[in-house]
Amino acid sequence: MNLELDGKIALVAGAGRGTGRAVALALAREGADVALLARTAAELEAAAADVRALGRRALPVAVDLADDAAREAAVARARAELGPPTLLVLAAAALFRPTKLHNLALADVDELLSIDLRAAVALCRALLPDMLAARHGRVVALGSLAARGGVPGGALYATAKAGLEGLCRGLSLDYARYGITANTVALGFVDSERLAARTDGDPAARERLVRATAARRIPTPAEVADVVAFLCSARAAAITGAVIDVTAGAHLNNLW
């Protein structure tokens, strides 16, 4: 299927590794040029090299997305060097510290929500003028089953992920008439570096996660990326305000 992304400019937040990197490559494979944003310069450079190997332009920008000035400078650089981005993928790894809410200081609350939600809102705000000018835009946020089911010790994490769903619904109501769609891809666990760190190489821990899925397998970053690329395409123009589960059926069970 031709996703008709030739000539499109994408900005992928969290593109250094894992699912975000897979998304950047999937978009490049379909013809988009990609601005890759994340914290770690070395990972970004490697991901950008892979994008260029696919014949597309890549702009790696190491940035703390919670830093307003740095984030705004990164967006301005992407616009200047690649062109106005009209595809925005919010794939930055969320900050998750398993802690019950009464043990958190308000400074901790501000930090987590700044990284997990405020930066996503700010990126949408920054790119919407480009999308409006083009009468075309796609916002895809990587969410979590935690938005609906919660997660022990993660009330703020669940709040942030639910906020992404609300953000995409609100954007849909305000901007769909201008050719701009916004959707959330809800994830359980993905077979990435973060999962390896979580299970710490323990086969039994991994098997427990596998058995929480209906398909008895964990989705790969590439599988998530294919769904994101489709939602960024012209083929998905009628899909907006949706939450699409890419969990191998974990959303049918009590994942946590």
Instruction: Tell me the per-residue pLDDT of 56-80, one tens digit each, with 9 for 90 and over.
Output: 999 999 999 999 999 999 999 999 9
pTM of the predicted protein model: 0.93
Active site residues: 157
Q: Give tens-digit pLDDT for 151-172.
A: 888 899 999 999 999 999 999 9
Q: SS in 3 state form for 17-40?
A: CHHHHHHHHHHHHCCCEEEEEECC
Interatomic CA distance for residues 210 and 204, integer angstroms: 10
Q: Give tens-digit pLDDT for 171-184.
A: 999 999 999 999 99
- With 50 as the cut, is the pLDDT of residue 256 above it? no
**Residues 256 and 149: beta-carbon distance below 8 Å:** yes
Question: DSSP character for 231?
Answer: H
- With 70 as the cut, is the pLDDT of residue 245 above it? yes
CA-to-CA separations, 115 to 28, 56, 123, 170, in angstroms, rounded: 26, 29, 12, 20
Can you tell me the mean pLDDT for 144-149? 91
Residues in the chain: 256
Going along the chain from its start, the domains and CATH numbers come out as 9-248 (3.40.50.720)
**Residues 119 and 92: beta-carbon distance below 8 Å:** yes
